[in-house]
């Protein structure tokens, strides 16, 4: 039900009731403007795009927390999303009503994240992209819930990410790292360098996943956890991460020597610290000093050994699909995006291929 009535002050009052019986009203200087507003409301109801003006009064923080609790995330992902919202989104957007946040304000917020301020350092472009993606997901959910008509994050201009080329560490650095690690973690370094498995996959590796006779290891889970909590088993990163990786002799020998000196830990874990499962944080403490001594960037963590393994496969002529399968990448494009610069240059083969066909009839003298 809708109506337009002229008030004593000369204003035109347009009003309607929604499906819940709630009344909504707005005042205009002209009757035509009041009618246009009612027509727009009627059209949105017919097309299924109607949004209750009161639904967007919920604050971004309140809705984001409600959204966050409903997500099916791993414990580590839950902690990451909570931290990103709390540190980077709530200080600016948290107490604002959902419907009051404009695209221009989202753009200004992104700019502040990029340049920093007196109380905070600027964020890396990749981090800004992650935070914006999380906030955009919250607004997308609010649109689906009919709390707001549109996502104010759409169209935001984000800082350009500068892709840095992977520079693999050397064999000398791997050997120096192995020698500097605590005794119970030396075989872990050799295993990572010889298989390229991810940190969580390696820390969650149990003896029943290693097949000594077949010389292979099955990767079908990983150890995950958050700060201050006991790590738990979870699924691998992606569907492509379920895989079987061949074990070179050097890895098998290191593992056999390791098991002779250190029994498999609880639940058959191959690698432990003091007999306990290794959390990511605990391993980080053990990694930093040996990594610095070996000249390895500390921030790379076990990924430095994953890159080393990939570089070995590429150097010895393995195809893109093989490297993708060994690393558990979701697609060959991901493998090429990361390691394409490590494959040998094919310029000479290109010249030889053309010369082999066209060169026979060519009279061009090539100056050497």
pLDDT (tens, 9 = 90+) of the chain, 368 residues, equals 677 888 888 888 888 777 667 777 888 888 888 888 777 777 666 566 666 667 788 999 999 999 999 998 777 788 899 999 999 999 999 999 999 999 999 999 999 999 987 778 899 999 999 999 999 999 999 999 888 888 999 999 999 987 788 999 999 999 999 999 999 999 999 999 999 999 999 999 999 999 999 999 999 999 887 656 677 888 898 899 999 999 999 999 999 999 999 988 667 999 998 888 888 888 999 999 999 999 998 888 899 999 999 999 999 999 999 999 999 999 999 999 999 988 877 666 677 777 777 766 555 555 54
Q: In whole angstroms, what is the distance from residue 57 CA to residue 99 CA?
A: 6
Q: In whole angstroms, what is the distance from residue 175 CA to residue 195 CA?
A: 15
Nearest to 203 by CA among 219, 222, 180: 222
**299 burial via Cβ count (<10 Å: 0-12, 13-18, 19+):** exposed
Residue 194: CB atoms within 10 A of its CB come to 23
Half-sphere exposure of 324 (CA within 13 A, CB side): 16
Give me the pLDDT at residue 45, please: 63
CATH of domain 57-144: 1.10.150.130
Nearest to 61 by CA among 90, 84, 87, 82: 90
Give me the pLDDT at residue 25, please: 81
Give me the pLDDT at residue 181, please: 95
Half-sphere exposure of 285 (CA within 13 A, CB side): 6
In terms of DSSP H, where are the helices of the chain?
Answer: 31-46, 60-70, 75-84, 90-93, 103-115, 125-144, 171-180, 186-195, 199-203, 249-261, 280-294, 303-315, 320-327, 332-339, 347-358
171-342 topology per CATH: hpI Integrase; Chain A (1.10.443)
Give me the pLDDT at residue 183, please: 94
- With a threshold of 0.75, does the pTM exceed it? no
Q: What does the DSSP 8-state code read for residue 289? A: H
Q: Per-domain residue ranges for the chain? A: 2-50, 57-144, 171-342
**71 burial via Cβ count (<10 Å: 0-12, 13-18, 19+):** exposed
């Amino acid at each position: 039900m809708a109506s337009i009535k002229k008030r004593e002050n000369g204003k035109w009052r347009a009003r309607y009731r929604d499906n819940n019986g709630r009344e909504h009203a707005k005042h205009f200087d002209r009757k035509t403007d009041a009618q246009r507003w009612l027509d727009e409301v009627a059209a949105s109801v017919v097309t299924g795009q109607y949004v209750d003006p009161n639904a967007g009064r919920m604050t971004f923080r309140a809705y984001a927390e409600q959204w966050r609790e409903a997500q099916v995330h791993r414990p580590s992902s839950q902690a990451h999303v909570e931290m990103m919202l709390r540190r980077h989104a709530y200080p600016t957007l948290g107490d604002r009503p959902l419907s009051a946040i404009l695209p221009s304000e989202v753009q200004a917020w992104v700019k502040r994240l990029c340049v920093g301020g007196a109380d905070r350092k600027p964020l890396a472009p990749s981090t800004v992209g992650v935070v914006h993606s999380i906030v955009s997901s919250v607004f997308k959910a609010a649109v689906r819930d009919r709390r707001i008509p549109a996502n104010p994050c759409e169209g935001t201009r984000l800082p350009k990410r500068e892709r840095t080329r992977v520079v693999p560490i050397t064999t000398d650095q791997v050997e120096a790292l192995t020698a500097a690690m605590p005794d119970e973690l030396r075989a872990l370094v050799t295993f990572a360098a010889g298989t390229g498995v991810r940190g969580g996959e390696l820390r969650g590796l149990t003896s029943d996943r290693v097949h000594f006779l077949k010389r292979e290891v099955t990767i079908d889970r990983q150890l995950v956890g958050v700060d201050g909590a006991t790590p738990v088993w979870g699924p691998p990163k992606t569907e492509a991460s379920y895989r079987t990786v061949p074990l070179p002799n050097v890895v098998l020998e290191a593992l056999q020597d390791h098991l002779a000196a250190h029994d498999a830990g609880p639940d058959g874990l191959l690698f432990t610290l003091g007999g306990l499962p290794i959390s990511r944080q605990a391993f980080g403490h053990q990694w930093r000093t040996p990594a610095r001594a070996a000249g390895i960037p500390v921030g790379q963590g076990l990924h430095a050994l994953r890159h080393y393994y990939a570089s070995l496969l590429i150097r010895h002529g393995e195809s893109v699909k093989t490297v993708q399968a060994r690393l558990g990448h979701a697609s060959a494009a991901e493998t090429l995006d990361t390691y394409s610069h490590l494959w040998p240059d094919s310029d000479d083969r290109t010249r030889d291929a053309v010369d082999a066909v066209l060169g026979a009839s060519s009279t061009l003298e090539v100056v050497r």
